[in-house]
Chain A
Amino acid sequence: MVAQKITIEPVTRIEGHAKVTINMNDNGSVDHAYFHVNEFRGFEKFCEGRMVFEMPSITPRICGICPVSHHLAAAKAGDRLMGVEPPHTANLLRELMHMGQIIQSHGMHFFQLSGPDLILGFDSDPATRNVVGLIDADPELTVRAVELRKYGQDIIYQVGGRRIHPNFAVPGGVNRALTADKREHMLAGIDKAIETTQIGLQLMKDWADANIEDIEKFAVFHTGYFGLVTPENGLELYDGDIRLVDREGDELELFSAQNYLDIIAERVLDWSYLKFPYYKKMGWPDGVYRVGPLGRLNACDKIDTPMAQEEWLTYRKLNDGKPVFQTLYYHYARLIETLFAIERTREILDDPDLLGNDILNRRFDFQGEGVGVIEAPRGTLLHHYWAKPNGQLERVNLIVSTGHNNWAMSEAVDSVAKTYVKGPEVQEGMLNRVEAAIRAYDPCLSCSTHAIGQMPIVIDVHDSKGNLVQTLKRS
Chain B
Amino acid sequence: MKADTLVIGYGNADRQDDGVGWHILKNLAERVGQQVPEDPGAPIEIENETVDLIFLLQIIPELAEMISHYKRVCFVDAHTADISEEISWIKLHPEYERSPLTHHMSPKTVLSISAIIYGSAPEAVLVSVRGFSFEFSQALSPQTATLSQEAVEKIWSWIITRSPSP
By a beta-carbon cutoff of 8 Å, the part of chain A in contact with chain B is 11-12, 14, 17-18, 42-43, 45-46, 61, 63-65, 67, 108, 112-113, 126, 129-132, 135, 142-143, 146, 149-150, 153, 162-165, 167, 432, 435, 438-439, 443-446, 448-455, 457, 474-475
Q: Is B155 an interface residue (CB 8 A)?
A: no
B100 proximal to A (CB < 8 A): yes
Q: State whether A163 touches B45 (Cβ < 8 A).
A: yes
Known: A14-B80, A446-B103, A449-B134. A67 touches B98 (CB 8 A): no
B11/A450 in contact, CB under 8 A:
yes
4 closest A-B pairs (Cβ-Cβ)?
A64-B57, A64-B58, A453-B82, A452-B79
**Contact yes or no, A454 B97, CB < 8 A:** no
Q: Which of A63, A129, A444 contacts B98 (CB 8 A)?
A: A129
Provide the residues of chain A in CB contact with B13, threshold 8 Å. 61
Q: Give the chain A neighbours of B88 by CB distance below 8 A.
A: 452
Cα separation A43 to B43 with both chains bound (whole Å):
19
Chain B nearest CB from A150 CB (Å) reads: 6
Q: A64-B57, A163-B62 are in contact. Are A457 and B12 (CB under 8 A)?
A: no
Since A132-B96, A452-B79, A453-B83 are in contact, a sample of 5 more A-B pairs with Cβ atoms closer than 8 Å, ordered by chain A residue number, is A14-B18, A65-B58, A67-B57, A131-B116, A435-B100
B56 contacts A449, C-beta separation under 8 Å: no
User: Does B120 reach chain A (CB closer than 8 Å)?
Assistant: no
Contact indicator B136/A450 (Cβ below 8 Å): no
Contact of A61 among B10, B12, B61, B99 (CB under 8 A): B12
C-alpha spacing A113/B102, complex, angstroms: 9
Asked whether, in the complex, the Cβ of B104 is within 8 Å of the Cβ of A455, the reply is yes
Asked if B117 is at the interface (CB within 8 A of a chain A CB), the reply is yes
- Chain A neighbourhood of B10, CB < 8 A: 450
Chain B contact residues, CB within 8 Å of chain A: 10-15, 17-18, 41, 43, 45, 54, 56-58, 60-62, 64-65, 77-80, 82-83, 88, 96-104, 106, 112-113, 116-117, 126, 128, 131, 134, 136
Is B57 in contact with A61, judged by CB distance below 8 angstroms?
yes
Q: Give CA–CA (A222, B18) in the complex, Å.
A: 40
Point out the residues of chain A lying under 8 angstroms from B99, CB to CB.
Answer: 455, 475
Cross-chain pairs A/B with CB under 8 angstroms, 27 sampled: A43-B136, A61-B13, A61-B57, A63-B57, A108-B61, A126-B98, A131-B113, A132-B96, A135-B117, A150-B65, A162-B43, A163-B62, A164-B60, A167-B43, A435-B101, A444-B102, A445-B101, A448-B15, A450-B104, A451-B131, A452-B80, A452-B128, A453-B83, A454-B80, A455-B99, A474-B98, A475-B106
Nearest B residue to A453 via CB reads B82
Closest to B14 in A: A61
Q: Assess A162 versus B61: contact at CB under 8 Å? Given A146-B117, A449-B134, A450-B104.
A: no
B44 to chain A, nearest CB (A): 10
Could you tell me the distance between the alpha carbons of A64 and B126 in the complex, rounded to whole angstroms? Answer: 20
Known contacts A449-B134, A457-B100, A457-B101; is A165 also within 8 Å of B43 by CB? yes
Q: How far is the CB of B70 from chain A (nearest CB, A)?
A: 15
Docked CA distance A475–B134 (Å): 22
**Nearest CB on A from B138, distance (A):** 9
A430 to B126, CA, bound (A): 34
Closest to B135 in A: A42
Minimum CB distance partner of B65 in chain A: A150
Taken together as a complex, chains A and B put the C-alpha atoms of A155 and B75 apart, in Å, by: 26
**Pair A452/B60 contact, Cβ less than 8 Å:** no
**Which residues of B have CB within 8 Å of A108?**
61, 103
Known: A46-B136, A64-B57, A64-B60. A449 touches B96 (CB 8 A): no
Contact A474 B100 (CB under 8 A): yes
Indicate whether A438 sits within 8 Å of B101 (C-beta atoms), given known contacts A42-B136, A149-B61.
yes
A164 touches B83 (CB 8 A): no
With A130-B96, A435-B101 in contact, do A450 and B41 touch (Cβ < 8 Å)?
Answer: no
| Cβ-neighbour of A432 out of B77, B100, B103, B116 (below 8 A) | B100
Nearest-neighbour CB distance to chain A for B106, whole angstroms, equals: 7
Task: Name the B residues within 8 Å of A129 (CB-CB).
Answer: 98
Partner of B62, one of A130, A153, A446, A457: A153
| A residues in contact with B96, CB < 8 Å | 130-132
Residue numbers in B under 8 Å from A457 (CB-CB): 100-101
CB distance from A422 to the nearest CB of B (A): 20
Q: Which residues of chain B are within 8 angstroms of A131 by Cβ–Cβ distance?
A: 96, 113, 116
* Alpha-carbon gap, A12 to B83, bound state (A): 12
Question: Shortest Cβ distance from B86 into chain A, in angstroms?
Answer: 13
Report chain B residues within 8 Å CB of A450.
10-12, 18, 57-58, 77, 104
B101 touches A18 (CB 8 A): yes
Q: CB distance A46 to B14 under 8 Å?
A: yes
Give Cα A453–Cα B13 distance, bound, in whole angstroms: 18
Contact with B116, one of A65, A132, A435, A453 (Cβ below 8 angstroms): A132
- C-alpha spacing A474/B45, complex, angstroms: 33
Minimum Cβ distance to chain B for residue A430 (Å):
13
Shortest B85–chain A CB gap in Å is 11
Residues of B contacting A12 in the complex (Cβ-Cβ under 8 angstroms): 80, 82
> Out of B56, B64, B98, B113, which one reaches A64, CB within 8 Å?
B56
Q: Check A451–B101 contact: CB distance below 8 A.
A: no
